């Protein structure tokens, strides 16, 4: 009977079918722009999952394909008590299906029921959101779509961050430019189409979330979307008087218009409002150590007030121990397989993601502060783990780089780690300065001159691209010629990014980077 039921998936609309792989389809849990999410119950163990179903027809669209790919790629690598787990990816004729950890509700539904939360409950939720976001940033991923609907909760009040379809990889010194997310949550720098740091944008999102939890309203609300966006860019909002001074201070720091002045994640975690109640014990005991193959679980929270919303008593069955009593799902990815019942799974294809992923694991690399702003990039070709913190981007050209960091880059174009293609050598390094661009350029020119550089004629429009200022310098020695390009990108009134690139010349392509590194090293020693 089960075989027959599953076979029907191949010929009938999946909505009418009973099974996808080992999962019996249940009620609809939610619907987003991209996917319909249904409850899945394991035919044998009765374990519950959320089946996020995306139409294969939509996956034909390269942009959607990339969104799904990114989400899968990130979720399968991440292990954190406050980030949703992905167990399995299945493909049936009409749908690509992500079997995700099942959650009981989301923050949007909770606020719809009780309008706003008291500060202690809001803090418990907020702490977990911030730890999830911190973990993402430590792994060079920005979520970019923090919103109530993406904060899922279980009955024990464990928070899980979900929906990484708009998330993106970040590398120190590099900036994103794709405008994405939801208007009411959008940070000023995203609205203004500036280059932005994904971490700063997520912190703005955290600010909107905290404001929503404490007031039940968006901070930047107006009759039209353009007014909403304009208010956000100007930072025009008020905090109701019932919100405590300490919470108001934290909100104000997160909703600071100038990204470089916005509070950093480490500072949020130390803010008096944030630490007023106990922190989750996993954070205190094993901070940053979620990379082990076995997942760690947070201590359950039982805020009585919120448990009422679920219609359950705080001490009922919803504790972590019960949840993991059948570890087959909790701990088994990627070993967990659809073939629990060979008949059921016979017509389900498990996607060959290894072959088409952007290669390499998400490294546990040092944080921004560890690298003092030095540009770090990851290669799409690396196959070793841990990866080097400094490696080579597929391209260093800003517009192509922006595309690569945005949502239009075709991951499928990246070659597998075994590729033997000879790649042109390119290198890209970024430093940040808050001095005015002209002063930066003057200092650079003086230092370069002292190092024996000659300057090339000012670049044409073709090369100038998006930067405001550029210097092209040439270093000649008996053994080598090095061309360096310095471009200054303004990030607003307070910060400038200076990109340093090797600019090869067709007549003398760079095939040995060492002289270039040597010149840059001498230059940095002079200016820092």
Ligand X SMILES: Nc1ncnc2c1ncn2[C@@H]1O[C@H](COP(=O)(O)OP(=O)(O)OP(=O)(O)O)[C@@H](O)[C@H]1O
Site residues (CB under 6 A) for ligand X? 29-35, 37, 50, 52, 84, 100-103, 106, 149-150, 152, 162-163, 165
Based on CB atoms, which residue is closest to ligand X, 353 or 458?
A: 353
Give the number of C-alpha atoms closer than 13 A to the C-alpha of residue 205, restricted to the C-beta side: 29
How does DSSP classify residue 42?
A: E
CB 464 within 8 A of CB 488: no
Question: In this complex, which beta carbon is closest to ligand X, that of residue 32 or of residue 515?
Answer: 32
Separation between Cα atoms, residue 130 and residue 135, nearest integer Å: 8
Cβ 160 to ligand X, closest distance in Å? 7
Under a CB-based contact definition with an 8 Å cutoff, are residues 449 and 441 in contact? Answer: no
Q: Name the closest residue to ligand X (Cβ).
A: 32
Q: Which residues pair with 23 in a beta bridge?
A: 20, 42
What is the C-alpha to C-alpha distance for residues 204 and 163, in angstroms, rounded to an integer? 18
Pick the closer one to ligand X by CB: 298 or 430.
Answer: 298
**Spatial distance between the Cα atoms of 329 and 33, rounded to a whole number of angstroms:** 27
Catalytically annotated residue among 145, 197, 472, 499: 145
Nearer to ligand X, 103 or 255 (CB): 103
Q: Structure tokens of 456?
A: 């090339």
Backbone angles phi, psi at 170, to 5 degrees: -125, 150
User: Coil, strand or helix: which one is 28?
Assistant: strand
φ, ψ of residue 58 to 5 degrees: the values are -75, -30
- Alpha helices by DSSP H, listed for 433-507, are 437-450, 461-464
Smallest gap from residue 259 Cβ to ligand X (A): 23
CB-based contacts of 389: which residues, under 8 Å, 6+ apart? 363, 365, 366, 371, 376
Tokens standing for residue 26: 């249940």
SS3 308: helix
- Give the closest residue to 185 by CA, choosing from 157, 162, 156, 218: 218
Residues facing 429 on adjacent strands? 500
Residues 518 and 415: their CA atoms lie apart, in Å, by: 30
- Smallest separation, CB 147 to ligand X (Å): 7
Of residues 73 and 440, the one with the C-beta less far from ligand X: 73
* Shortest Cβ 30–ligand X spacing (Å): 2
**Judged by CB, which is closer to ligand X: 55, or 252?**
55
**Cα gap 320→296, rounded to integer Å:** 10
132's tokens: 């999830």
Q: How far is the CB of 193 from ligand X (least distance, A)?
A: 21
Supply the minimum distance, in Å, between the C-beta of residue 23 and ligand X.
13
Distance in Å, CB of 18 to ligand X, minimum: 20
- If the CB atoms of residues 107 and 510 are measured against ligand X, the closer one turns out to be 107
Q: Can 499 be counted among the known catalytic residues?
A: no
- Give me the active site residues, please: 145
């Amino acid at each position: 009977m089960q075989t027959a039921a599953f076979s029907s998936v191949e010929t009938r609309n999946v909505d009418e079918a009973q099974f996808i792989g080992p999962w019996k389809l249940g009620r609809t849990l939610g619907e987003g722009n991209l996917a319909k999410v249904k409850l899945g119950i394991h035919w044998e163990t009765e374990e519950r999952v959320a089946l996020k179903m995306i139409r294969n027809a939509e996956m034909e669209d390269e942009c959607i394909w990339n969104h799904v790919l990114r989400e899968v790629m990130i979720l399968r690598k991440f292990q954190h008590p406050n980030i949703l787990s992905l167990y399995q990816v299945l493909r049936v004729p009409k749908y690509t299906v992500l079997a995700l950890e099942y959650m009981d509700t989301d923050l949007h539904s909770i606020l719809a029921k009780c309008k706003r939360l008291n500060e202690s409950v809001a803090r418990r939720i907020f702490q977990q959101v911030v730890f999830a976001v911190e973990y993402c940033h430590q792994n060079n991923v920005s979520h970019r779509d923090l919103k109530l609907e993406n904060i899922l909760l279980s009955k024990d009040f464990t928070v899980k961050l979900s929906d990484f379809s708009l998330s993106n990889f970040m590398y120190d010194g590099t900036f994103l430019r794709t405008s994405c997310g939801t208007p009411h949550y959008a940070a000023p720098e995203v609205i203004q189409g500036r280059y932005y740091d994904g971490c700063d944008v997520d912190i703005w999102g955290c600010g909107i979330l905290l404001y929503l939890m404490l007031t039940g309203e968006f901070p930047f609300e107006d009759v039209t979307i353009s007014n909403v966006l304009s208010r956000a860019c100007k930072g025009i909002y008020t905090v109701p008087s019932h919100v405590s001074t300490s919470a108001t201070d934290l909100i104000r720091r997160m909703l600071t218009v100038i990204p470089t002045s916005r509070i950093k994640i480490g500072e949020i975690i130390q803010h008096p409002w944030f630490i007023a109640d106990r922190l989750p014990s996993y954070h205190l005991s094993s901070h940053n150590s979620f990379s082990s193959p076995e997942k760690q679980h947070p201590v359950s929270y039982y805020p009585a007030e919120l448990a009422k919303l679920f219609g359950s008593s705080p001490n009922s069955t919803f504790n972590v121990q019960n949840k993991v009593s059948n570890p087959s799902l909790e701990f088994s990815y990627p070993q967990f397989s659809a073939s629990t019942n060979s008949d059921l799974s016979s017509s389900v294809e498990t996607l060959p993601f290894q072959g088409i992923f952007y290669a390499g694991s998400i490294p546990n690399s040092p944080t921004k502060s560890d690298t003092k702003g030095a540009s770090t990039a990851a290669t799409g070709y690396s196959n070793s783990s841990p990866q080097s913190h400094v490696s080579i981007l597929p391209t260093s050209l800003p517009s192509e780089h922006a595309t690569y960091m945005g949502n239009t880059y075709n991951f499928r174009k990246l070659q597998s780690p075994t590729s033997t293609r000879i790649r042109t050598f390119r290198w890209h390094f970024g430093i940040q300065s808050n001095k005015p661009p002209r002063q930066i350029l003057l200092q650079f020119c003086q230092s370069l001159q002292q190092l024996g550089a000659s300057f090339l004629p000012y670049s044409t429009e073709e090369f100038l691209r998006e930067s405001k200022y550029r210097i092209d310098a040439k270093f000649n020695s008996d053994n080598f010629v090095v061309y360096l390009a310095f471009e200054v990108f303004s990030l607003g009134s307070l910060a400038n990014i200076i990109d340093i690139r090797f600019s090869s010349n067709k007549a003398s392509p760079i095939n040995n980077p060492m002289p270039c590194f040597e010149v840059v090293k001498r230059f940095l020693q002079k200016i820092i």
